[in-house]
Amino acid sequence: MSRSIAATRAITRDLTPALKADPEQRGDTRVWRWAASRTWYEHPAQTDAYNSLRNYPQYNAGMFDAEKQCFELNKQRIIELLPAEFIIVDLGCGDAGKSIRLMKVAAASDKRSMLCPVDISDVMLKEAMQNARRARVRVTGPIKADFEIELDKIVAEVSEKIPALYTIYATICNFDIDALLSKFQRTLKKKDMILFSTQLYGDDVAYIERQYEEEPVKRMATEVMRSLGFEKTDINFGVRFNSARMEIEVYFIVNRVPDAIAKKYGVWSGDEIVVLYSCKPRLLELEEIAERHLEDGEIFTNKAETFATIIGKLRK
């Protein structure tokens, strides 16, 4: 059974104020941001779509495969940096495959670990638990919670007896990285560590864009718009790299605004709504981010330097 932290649901349902804020004016176009990571996985159809991304070559190569290569290349050093015994608190665990892989490698180096899956989605938590059982790894929890809003409660739930490694992998790119790391700095215990990943910006922007033009991404994003009250026929899907922000934006151009939405949010026909962003920092920027927030942080990349994993203790 998953433990639920009180009020998670109430908090996550009430996101509408985000769209009530003024849109950004970009040239002649008004751009709204309705880009909260949690809204991508709320509906079971979205988690299905996410899981199917592995079957789409472009997304698989840029994200899953690149991360796997990065881990394979650097796993000995990553494991060396971990304490002899630790709990992996896997924030936004999904199927928990990445943490389970790390635990197996750690076990081969005589390091004991226990998995604490954390996710907002029941479907994902169930998958994580099934995978953990199949892989015969030790589990504590799971915890159903929103790690952005309820990090303090999650930390309070985790045993203080052994150090924790908080993993967030590339999900961190769907947040303001600096803001989230600052929150981790304030909330995690001194002995805890953090591990996160990111796809890196390269010159080939079109290649990154194509990853997000895949059909399951469109399905996940369309579901967000439906939850706001739009019909599929009201909106046109788009993906672009926003070079000012160094992030991919998955957005919709609104060609018809149902009356109720026009009245409730003030959206007009011709407006754009960004429903997901994913930052793609340069390696140099990532080094600066790591320097700002981590103590003795180490950055690892795959061979092509298209993906990086960062591990370390947070500055206190």
Ligand X SMILES: C[S@@+](CC[C@H](N)C(=O)[O-])C[C@H]1O[C@@H](n2cnc3c(N)ncnc32)[C@H](O)[C@@H]1O
280 binds ligand X (CB under 6 A): no
Residues with Cβ within 8 Å of 175's Cβ and at least 6 positions away in sequence, in order, are: 37, 148
Nearer to ligand X, 223 or 234 (CB): 223
Least CB distance to ligand X at residue 14 (A): 14
Nearer to ligand X, 171 or 306 (CB): 171
State the Cα angle at 89 between 142 and 277, rounded to 5°. 100
Which of 115, 148, 173, 248 touches ligand X (CB under 6 A)?
A: 148
Sign of CA dihedral 4, 49, 52, 147: negative
92 binds ligand X (CB under 6 A): yes
37 binds ligand X (CB under 6 A): yes
SS3 1: coil
43 binds ligand X (CB under 6 A): no
Residue type, 29: T
x-or-dash pattern for ligand X, window 199-238, by CB under 6 A? ----------------------------------------
How far is Cα 226 from Cα 221, in angstroms, rounded to an integer? 9
Nearer to ligand X, 144 or 313 (CB): 144
Nearer to ligand X, 92 or 297 (CB): 92
Listing from the earlier edge strand, what are the strands of the sheet with 29-33?
Answer: 24-26, 29-33, 272-279, 247-254, 235-242
How far is Cα 69 from Cα 67, in angstroms, rounded to an integer? 5
How far is Cα 295 from Cα 35, in angstroms, rounded to an integer? 30
Spacing of C-alpha 282 from chain mean position: 18
Least CB distance to ligand X at residue 76 (A): 21
Residues with Cβ within 8 Å of 278's Cβ and at least 6 positions away in sequence, in order, are: 170, 173, 174, 199, 212, 247, 248
Q: Which stretch binds ligand X (CB under 6 A): 144-152, 203-211, 213-221, 264-272?
A: 144-152
Tokens 């370390």 belong to residue: 312
Q: Which stretch binds ligand X (CB under 6 A): 24-32, 35-43, 69-77, 300-308?
A: 35-43
Nearer to ligand X, 124 or 267 (CB): 124
Least CB distance to ligand X at residue 194 (A): 14
272 binds ligand X (CB under 6 A): no
How far is Cα 282 from Cα 141, in angstroms, rounded to an integer? 36
Q: Which stretch binds ligand X (CB under 6 A): 72-80, 163-171, 183-191, 306-314?
A: 163-171
Residues 95-134 that bind ligand X (CB under 6 A): 98, 119-121, 124
Written as six digits, the tokens of 74 are 């650097």
Written as six digits, the tokens of 27 are 């040239």
Which of 94, 142, 216, 297 touches ligand X (CB under 6 A)?
A: 94
Which of 59, 169, 196, 230 touches ligand X (CB under 6 A)?
A: 169
| C-alpha pair distances (Å), 97 with each of 58, 68, 231 | 20, 11, 35
Count of chain residues binding ligand X (CB under 6 A): 17
How many secondary structure helices (H) and strands (E) does the chain include? 13, 13
Least CB distance to ligand X at residue 39 (A): 8
Which of 5, 32, 33, 41 touches ligand X (CB under 6 A)?
A: 41
Binding positions for ligand X, rule: CB under 6 A: 37-38, 41, 92-94, 98, 119-121, 124, 146-148, 169-171
